[in-house]
Amino acid sequence: MDHYKKEIGRALAPLVELAVPRVVELLEEPPEPAMGDLAFPCFTLAARQKQSPAAIAAALGRSLSGERGVFWEKAAPRGPYLNFYLDYPVFSDDILKRVLAGGPDYGKSDRGRGEVIVIDYSSPNICKPFGIGHIRSTVIGHALSLILESQGCRCIGINHLGDWGTQFGKMIVAYKRWGDDQKLKQDPVNYLYYLYVRFHQEAEADPALEEEARLWFKRLEKGEAEAVTYWELFRRLSLENYEQVYDLLGIRFSYHHGESHYNDMLDDTIRFVQEKGIAQESEGALIVDLEKYGLPPAMLRKKDGATLYLTRDLAAALYRKRTFNFTRALYVVGAEQTLHFQQMVKVLELLGLSWAKECIHVPFGLIRFKEGRMSTRKGKMILLADVLQRAINLAREIIEEKNPTLANKESAARAVGLGAVRFGDLSNDRIKDIEFDWEKVLDFSGETAAYIQYAHARICSILRRAGLDEPDWFEGAGGHLGQVEERALVKTLAAFPEKISDAAGSYRPSILARYLIDVARDFNRFYHECPVLVGQQELRRARLLLIAAVRRVLKNGLGLLGIAAPGEM
Ligand code: ARG
């Protein structure tokens, strides 16, 4: 809508003595079509002009009476607002043309050109299965990369694997004591997790195990061959398993730089902090006191010399700035780590690094699985791979029932199943905790990916029936789309570019996800009221163009969320 708002901005700016961008910013969407399409609120002017907002709106209405623009046809006051009415035939023509000519690029922008954005996401912990705990970071991080890239940013996706730390000492002890090569080969990740759990159970009865684990981790840190061999084995097996999940989800990282990647940078990092004079010894440990900032001390080295998660994150931030010269670095990590990132940013600030504020934590809430169709074996973690497989299976059952003769069932089941999991997450404001409910995420008439995918497939089928994959443009098409439902749909399509840029600016894929629900809903209302394949020639052609534009927006929008839009389902 930006384009049309600017036109109104140019007409109003001289009358209200505000700059065009400011007018554009103030324009609102009226609650009902009868009140026009864009409303200028007069409250801000009231104080300056010492007049009531309604009187100002009335005066502006008088100055613009009889006037019009290219895209708006009249302006009329209503209470404290001056309402603008779009010239729909012209506006609809313009929008349809933009969408259809833009094709796969409709919605993209180059606003972010020149930006280099590091996105740290997914980041599961090795030796633990890829559980649902990491589902949110994975799908939100991936959607953000796609959304930001559509704005012209260069995104560098980094999988900050948890592949270092004292747990590896524990794993080595457990494997040496109870490990079985055969079982490890069969089902590596579950077996590693079994050993991890067993270690903790046995260590309760036998605390000496903890000490042994600590020593093994020390050996690993020193680079002793035996320890390193075990660690490499555990890491490789885990990563191979994670790759299957990423493949299924169509996710490619620029780098799998886990925590271990920074091992040989830790001494330099600590030295740098010491040289800046912000570190101090405290009971044998090395810390940065952050009390003044209301934060707990940032510990960089423990009494026994071991470094911490935070030390590695500091080293990683310095490395990333040095290597990629990012303009922003996003950390798509659960809200429970808020304090950690506050400490990290504060230490970077105290180091005098002006880019510290460009390190941005993008937090999200917890995900919980509603018990039900997903039976979990007791004591087992819910694996992401199982969730995805389950979703595909359920989608297959539904499709089988709804459309038994469908040719490409398998790929439709994948698109719908994976879409359900992704959208079930992305359609919620990320900061909220979510409950994952199988019934809800796969409900074809609910606020789901399937609902949107279904609208898309339906349009594909109408166009197939019309024998036109890409209907031909004709001048004046917009003039035929005068029904309320048609106007509403065109207006919704016009909002797409703004929704993407809002989602990008606030790191909220949910803005785009909710919007796509609106598009599908407006399409269904239209389709209910306005038959496409009957009626006179021009109307039919105009409606075919309209639905082709809807299909385009649905496809591009789902694509930015990492969700496929099958042509049939
Ligand atoms: N592996 C960590 C976890 O599962 C997340 C890492 C997030 N990224 C980071 N740079 N700290 O909790």
| Nearest residue by C-alpha to atom 6 in ligand 1 | 123
pTM: 0.94
Task: Determine, yes or no, domain membership for 145.
Answer: no
Give the domain-ending residue among 36, 51, 86. Answer: 86
- The CATH number of residue 467's host domain is 1.10.730.10
Q: Tell me the CA–centroid distance for residue 121 and ligand 1, in Å.
A: 8
Q: Which two tokens stand for residue 26?
A: 């103030």
Q: Tell me the CA–centroid distance for residue 287 and ligand 1, in Å.
A: 21
Residue 125 CA, closest ligand 1 atom number: 1
Shared domain check, 405 and 548: yes
| Nearest residue by C-alpha to atom 8 in ligand 1 | 160
Shared domain check, 555 and 423: yes
Shared domain check, 184 and 74: no
| Nearest residue by C-alpha to atom 4 in ligand 1 | 124
Residue 337 CA, closest ligand 1 atom number: 12
Residue 334 CA, closest ligand 1 atom number: 12
Task: Determine, yes or no, domain membership for 350.
Answer: no
Sort residue 51 into left (φ over 0), alpha (ψ -120 to 50) or beta: beta
Shared domain check, 544 and 414: yes
| Nearest residue by C-alpha to atom 11 in ligand 1 | 313
Residue 340 CA, closest ligand 1 atom number: 11
Instruction: Give the mutation target among 123, 242, 260 for probing the ligand 1 site: most ligand atoms within 8 A of CB.
Output: 123
Strands of the 285-288 sheet, one edge to the other = 279-282, 285-288, 298-301
Shared domain check, 535 and 423: yes
Q: Tell me the CA–centroid distance for residue 258 and ligand 1, in Å.
A: 9
Task: Determine, yes or no, domain membership for 182.
Answer: yes
Shared domain check, 402 and 505: yes
Cα gap 22→16, rounded to integer Å: 10
Give the domain-ending residue among 86, 102, 125. Answer: 86
Given this model, what pLDDT does residue 38 score? 96
The residue type of 60 is L
Please list, in sequence order, all residues whose beta carbon lies within 8 angstroms of the beta carbon of residue 69, skipping any fewer than 6 positions away: 7, 8, 11
- pLDDT lower than 70: segments of the chain: 371-381
Domain count, the chain: 3
Task: Determine, yes or no, domain membership for 485.
Answer: yes
Task: Determine, yes or no, domain membership for 379.
Answer: no
Q: Tell me the CA–centroid distance for residue 209 and ligand 1, in Å.
A: 26
Given this model, what pLDDT does residue 369 score? 80
Given this model, what pLDDT does residue 375 score? 41
User: In the beta sheet, which residues pair with residue 83?
Assistant: 39, 76
- The CATH number of residue 63's host domain is 3.30.1360.70
- Range list of H helices, 179-249: 181-186, 188-205, 208-222, 225-249
Residue 134 CA, closest ligand 1 atom number: 4
Q: Tell me the CA–centroid distance for residue 265 and ligand 1, in Å.
A: 18
Shared domain check, 545 and 419: yes
The packing angle between helices 409-426 and 135-150, to 10°, is 90
Q: Tell me the CA–centroid distance for residue 309 and ligand 1, in Å.
A: 8
| Nearest residue by C-alpha to atom 9 in ligand 1 | 160
Task: Determine, yes or no, domain membership for 94.
Answer: no
Q: What domain range is 49 assigned to? A: 2-86
Instruction: Give the mutation target among 257, 333, 342 for probing the ligand 1 site: most ligand atoms within 8 A of CB.
Output: 333
Shared domain check, 50 and 178: no
Shared domain check, 170 and 81: no
Q: Which helix (H) or strand (E) holds 168?
A: helix 167-178
Task: Determine, yes or no, domain membership for 189.
Answer: yes
Instruction: Give the mutation target among 164, 310, 320, 337 for probing the ligand 1 site: most ligand atoms within 8 A of CB.
Output: 337
Q: Tell me the CA–centroid distance for residue 278 and ligand 1, in Å.
A: 25
Instruction: Give the mutation target among 140, 160, 242 for probing the ligand 1 site: most ligand atoms within 8 A of CB.
Output: 160
Give the domain-ending residue among 215, 250, 285. Answer: 250
Q: Tell me the CA–centroid distance for residue 123 and ligand 1, in Å.
A: 5
Residue 561: closest CA among 513, 492, 504? 513
Shared domain check, 78 and 171: no
| Nearest residue by C-alpha to atom 5 in ligand 1 | 123
Q: Tell me the CA–centroid distance for residue 162 and ligand 1, in Å.
A: 6
Shared domain check, 542 and 397: yes
Pocket of ligand 1 (CB under 6 A): 120, 123, 125, 160, 162, 313, 331, 333
| Nearest residue by C-alpha to atom 1 in ligand 1 | 162
Task: Determine, yes or no, domain membership for 417.
Answer: yes
CA triplet 518, 470, 249: central angle to 5 degrees? 55
Strands 81-86 and 279-282: unpaired
3-state percent helix, strand, coil for the chain, nearest multiple of 5: 60, 10, 30
Burial profile 85-120: b = 16 or more Cβ within 10 angstroms, e = fewer: bbbbbbbbbbbbbbbbebeeebbbbeebeeebbbbb
Given this model, what pLDDT does residue 376 score? 41
Cα gap 8→512, rounded to integer Å: 26
Shared domain check, 533 and 398: yes
